[in-house]
Structure 1
């Protein structure tokens, strides 16, 4: 067989898992002039970053001339071809991956089958991430840990590509969208910190708004004040926990109340039933 590369190396993940992003393999190669791959399709995502030389990449009816600093992405199910230049064939690294978050993650960094090339990356920085992805698969006794490591480096690689590609990421900076984003952050904060003693003053300061203004905009957006919204989060979570065998004290503590009696009064006021009564009604309904 006539060799197709002056240099070729690939490291393979021995596991088959269902991570959000799962690296399949990663490698590095220096193909001969005019070396061609395709026309073909893959059933996984495949990213190539060019470190030297040049070549062409074709997909979705578009042809891209790629050189050092360019990254092209092959999408599963899309017919592609890529060919090394006749005079200065490229040297590139690659990583193949799948996962239920793969398509969404690529969209977040501004990529799509119709816009499949990122230009302007720093080869040294990018190669650093590829090198760590490949070295993750050391064939140790714990391949599941190696896979987690490779996934982490893949995420850093995608972050770096997204940082380079910010001009293709859709962002509209207006006063209206900024406040919506900040209200969204406030909601997310309340959803994640409801077990703690939440200070709206502290929340407003973190978001860069005066407390009064934040409360006004929050209510315009949600129909509730931040504290009312937080109270509903806590009560809804308490309803879920009342389906378990946890004690009322434990539930109160789990939804941000240090005083179980005060929690019971607030739950009664909110639902119309004391927590113990609500739980009993739930069990009666289940038994019926």
Structure 2
């Protein structure tokens, strides 16, 4: 059997996690740097970042990577629309073909834009780390580290050429992570349809209570909240590119028959109605 532990690092991937947190961008921060790597994931909203004298526009789904010694600060551009950010600071790591304690993007930039699928995966780990950070469960530091490692590997995979396919055997697995992955894949593919957790559970020969529990254990949120976020993210994209469609039609296209319920959810998550959001980006 091939030992692939070092296919992406020079040694075991065992970063020291310094902090994880969530914040709302309410004012400009001071221009500063760190002696560790800090990642900032824009969870919602938009803003600007000044990094080494260059101003970057950021919005939901963007990832900012500031390695040690990189000067940066955030700039608020719209205090009416809340901008929420996830932060993580860490050190003691070394990826192949990168300097020690450095995450390098393939374009040489400090900003990484994500598509809808990757954004949802990264959000999943952000919420998992935040949820774990709020508990008093024994071993929470190591749980946070485990989630952060997975978060980092998703980033590295996007910025590294895939390794040659290895010969070997495929074994079916029934671990709870596989169950959760199947549920996420189903929600991603069928978000615009009527979805019943009971029906999913029956098809998987599991109870809906068990599915809800392991899903929250793995992602930090319920399947319903995960589905809502997928639908609302899709709706935001439609509001930007399909101006001819009514709010009711967009609501129907992402799985909501009741436009009032859709608008209420949208405002709850983004702080404004769908119509106001459409007008704000025109």
**Range class of TM-score, shorter chain:** 0.3 to 0.5
| TM-score normalized by the length of structure 2 | 0.45
Which one has a larger percent helix, Structure 1 or Structure 2? 1
Scaled by the length of structure 1, what TM-score is found?
A: 0.45
Of structures 1 and 2, the larger Rg is shown by 1
